[in-house]
Amino acid sequence: MTAALTALAIVLIQAQEVKVPLRFDFYYSYEKVVEALKALNTAYPEMTKLDQVGKSEEGRIIWALTINNPKTGEPFSKPGVYVDGNIHGNEIQASEVCLYLANRLLTNYGKLKEITEVVDRNVYYIIPVVNVDGRAHFFDDANNPSSNRGLRISVDDDRDGLYDEDGPDDVDGDGNITTMRIRDTLGRLRTDPSDKRLMIAIKPGEKGEWTRLGQEGIDNDGDGVVNEDGEGYVDGNRNWGYNWQPPYVQRGAGNYPFEGSGIKAIAEWMLVRPNIIMVFAFHNNGGMYLRGPSFKAAGELPQGDISVYDYLGKNIEKIVPGYEYLISWKDLYSTYGDFTDFTNNLVGSYSFVGELFQVETETFDGTMMRKQEERSMFGESSDAERQRLLFNDNVVQGGQFVEWKAYKHPLYGDIEVGGWTKMSSRLPHPFMLQDLVHRNASAVIFTAQYTPKVVMDVFEVKKIDSDLWRVRVRLVNEGVMPSVTHASMKNKLYPPDILSLTGSGAKVVSGGVLKDPYMELVDYKEYRPEVQMCQVPGSGKTEYQFLVSGKGSIELRFESAKAGKISKTVALK
């Protein structure tokens, strides 16, 4: 099937009505993502809320779907699990994971015990498309697999006083931006004898055959250079207001933090939802789950947080085979103005970046290609490319590679155009999409089982004098995540959780952390003993002791931004 027919098939499928449950054997355009969210909201009005978070530079709406069971509490009374995707315009399968997660939670609530439990326990905030302009242009315009990543903010890349005037052009009109090559006996490439569609590097003493000219395009501004000023590159994942650095330090940073109107709107939307404790941001590609910090100078996270990440990350590796749990700056590269640094440090959450899809899985024989292949300075890794062409020819019956064809270029003369299409390389073929979205949504669902779940036990009310009582209370966390992250406690970014004791006929004389109930060791608080600042550790407990003078009933109240609120009333008797 030709690339044009493949594109036509996608358009025809997308023209069909969106119904619940959703389908995941094709990719949803921006417009169809919106339809899908509205369909889920219509089908489950009691369990969902659809918000307009903000608008993009081109006026498209950024939508968020909130999933919450009101019978088990209001949204802010539960841990918040935030999931988004497609912050880069070309990373479209990230949105499919978000849609699949929402679809699976809603359509299986009350049917699958595990799904029902995680829906009752948490509230879910899902933004399938962050870069709404980018997704729309990726579908509607000619692109290559890696183009159209940034926000639609114009940048004068070549500093000629013009903006975005010379980007790639679809010179052959097939809907893709592929590669241009020209015959050149002094070139460093020749035709691969095993497959004429490929080029390989010449060996010493061999005559060249080709020079690669780069992406399809012409010299739109007449300056003698092709494709030097494409759509402005402000990277949505480098524009957040935590450790932002200017463009000479961090490419794509923009002129200032939150320059992107959609990025700013999402930040404001998140900050008024203080219950967010877990964040997943889905990207492509490489098959990784990355945790912060995103730059070395930040230093390592507190050990308590590392333990949480390690437990979750190592289990996610099993849920999504072949993916690796890694540290961003150490195992990949440093970034500044990064979204998950913002969420870790200003939202106070645990955060993963899920890098979706491994091109190494596109093989004819079903075995995974080696990730590390020796690459020539001038040519492709021919073994990997041969495998992918066998996959293209025999497994998906074509459509991912455009055959080379002649073109009369206004600058270069007689050239050839061809190569991998925009719906290849970084994106799984639709037949592989179901497995990808299910496993990665399952990683979110697994993690949601371990958000903080705090229960209160008033395990002693004992009279120790005529009107003096000893009250002991235990807070137990059944989740892996603590009630507030260790980094938040260390950096004092937010008020910690609060345990308080009140009563109309009672006064707290003293109170503090109960270190040893048998030896009666208590770390008493000097001022305002009726209010104790606390953190309930993951899979652990913390105990407090109050000395109370008076009579009647008292109320013990635990209040946490991330873990909700609990109260118990007991009588002094």
Q: Is residue 149 part of a domain?
A: no
* Containing structural domain, residue 309: 27-140+233-357+428-448
Contacts of 313 (CB under 8 A, 6+ apart): 289, 291, 325, 352
123 falls within a domain: yes
456 three-class SS: strand
Please check whether residues 289 and 250 belong to one and the same domain. Answer: yes
Task: Looking at the structure, tell me whether residues 207 and 292 fall in a common domain.
Answer: no
Residues 117 and 130 both lie in one domain? yes
Report the alpha-carbon distance of residue 332 to residue 341 in Å, rounded. Answer: 15
Q: What are the pLDDT tens digits along the chain (573 aa)?
A: 455 444 544 544 445 689 999 999 999 999 999 999 999 999 999 999 999 999 999 999 999 999 999 999 999 999 999 999 999 999 999 999 999 999 999 999 999 999 999 999 999 999 999 999 999 999 999 999 999 999 999 988 888 888 888 899 999 999 999 999 999 999 999 999 999 999 999 999 999 999 999 999 999 998 889 988 888 899 999 999 999 999 999 999 999 999 999 999 999 999 999 999 999 999 998 999 999 999 999 999 999 999 999 999 999 999 999 999 999 999 999 999 999 999 999 999 999 999 999 999 999 988 888 764 544 444 555 788 999 999 999 999 999 999 999 999 999 999 999 999 999 999 999 999 999 999 999 999 999 999 999 999 999 999 999 899 999 999 999 999 999 999 999 988 888 999 999 999 999 999 999 999 999 999 999 999 999 999 999 999 999 999 999 999 999 999 999 999 999 999 998
Residues 347 and 474 in one domain: no
Q: Cα(473)–Cα(364) distance, rounded to whole angstroms?
A: 62
Q: Which residues pair with 65 in a beta bridge?
A: 50, 126
Distance from C-alpha of 150 to C-alpha of 236, rounded to nearest angstrom: 6
Amino acid in position 205 = G
Distance in angstroms (rounded) separating the CA atoms of residues 63 and 526? 48
Query: Which residues are bridge partners to 74 per DSSP?
Result: none
**What six digits make up the tokens of 378?**
């001038």
Q: Within this chain, do residues 327 and 438 fall inside the same structural domain, yes or no?
A: yes
Give strand pairing partners of 354.
Answer: 282, 289
Q: Is residue 327 part of a domain?
A: yes
Residue 14 belongs to a domain: no
Domain holding 535: CATH number?
A: 2.60.40.10
Structure tokens at 343: 């969420």
CATH number of domain containing 114: 3.40.630.10
Same structural domain, 516 and 560:
yes
The bridge status of strand 350-356 relative to strand 288-291 is antiparallel
> Do 36 and 129 belong together in one domain?
yes
Taking the model in full, what pTM does it have? 0.94
Whether 99 and 195 map to the same domain: the answer is no
Alpha helix locations (H) across 108-184?
113-121, 132-140
Please indicate, yes or no, whether residues 350 and 368 belong to a single structural domain of this protein: no
pLDDT tens profile 266-315: 999 999 999 999 999 999 989 999 999 999 999 999 999 999 999 999 99
Same domain, 537 and 409: no
* Residues found in the chain: 573
Please count the structural domains in the chain. Answer: 3
